[in-house]
Structure 1
Amino acid sequence: MLRLYYSAMTSAFRCRWALEETGLAHEVVHLSLARADHKSAEYLKIHPLGSVPALVDGDAVVLESAAICMYVAEKDPERRLVPPEGSIARAHYYQWIFFSMTNIDSIVHGPYLRAFPRPPELRSTAATDDERAALRRYLHLLEDRLAAGWVLGQQFTTADIILGGLLEWADVCGLLRGAGTPERYLARLRERPAFQRAAD
Structure 2
Amino acid sequence: MLQLCYSPGTASMIPHLLLREMGLPFELRLFDTEQQAHRSAEYLRLNPNGQIPTLIDDDLVIYETAAICLHLADQHPAAGMAPALGSVERAHFYKWLMWLNNTLQTTLIVYFYPDRWADDEAAIAQVQQHAEAKVGKLLDLLDAELARHGGEWLQGDRYSVLDAYTFVLCRWTRRFARPARDLPHLGPYLRRILARPATQQMLAGEGLPEPWI
TM-score in terms of structure 2 length: 0.79
Q: Does 1:140 align with 2:145?
A: no
Look up the match of 2:158.
155
Q: Which has the higher mean CA deviation after the structures are superposed, 92-101 or 105-114?
A: 105-114
Look up the match of 1:190.
194
**1:152 alignment partner AA:** Q
Identity %: 30
Secondary structure in 1 matching 2:10 = coil
Q: Return the offset for 1:86.
A: 1.2
Unpaired runs of 5+ residues, structure 1, are 115-126
Unpaired runs of 5+ residues, structure 2, are 115-127, 205-213
Q: Return the offset for 1:174.
A: 4.2
Look up the match of 2:169.
166
Secondary structure in 1 matching 2:27 = strand
Tell whether the 8 Å contact from 1:150 to 1:160 is kept in structure 2 after alignment. yes
Tell whether the 8 Å contact from 1:97 to 1:163 is kept in structure 2 after alignment. no
Q: Please show how residues 1-200 of structure 1 align to structure 2 within 5 Å.
A: 1-113=1-113, 128=129, 131-147=131-147, 148=150, 149-176=152-179, 178-200=182-204
Secondary structure in 1 matching 2:35 = coil
**2:100 alignment partner AA:** S
Look up the match of 1:123.
none
Q: Which has the higher mean CA deviation after the structures are superposed, 143-152 or 22-31?
A: 143-152
Tell whether the 8 Å contact from 2:143 to 2:184 is kept in structure 1 after alignment. no
- CA deviation string 1:37-94 (max 9, x = no partner): 2222121111112221100111111101111112112222413211111111100100
Q: Which has the higher mean CA deviation after the structures are superposed, 145-154 or 18-27?
A: 145-154
- CA deviation string 1:94-126 (max 9, x = no partner): 011111112212332233457xxxxxxxxxxxx
Q: Judging changes above 3 Å, is the alpha-carbon distance between structure 1 residues 77 and 153 closer, same or farther for their aligned structure 2 residues?
A: closer
- CA deviation string 1:2-44 (max 9, x = no partner): 1000100110011100100101111001112233222221211
Secondary structure in 2 matching 1:78 = helix
TM-score in terms of structure 1 length: 0.84
Secondary structure in 2 matching 1:82 = coil
Tell whether the 8 Å contact from 1:44 to 1:50 is kept in structure 2 after alignment. yes
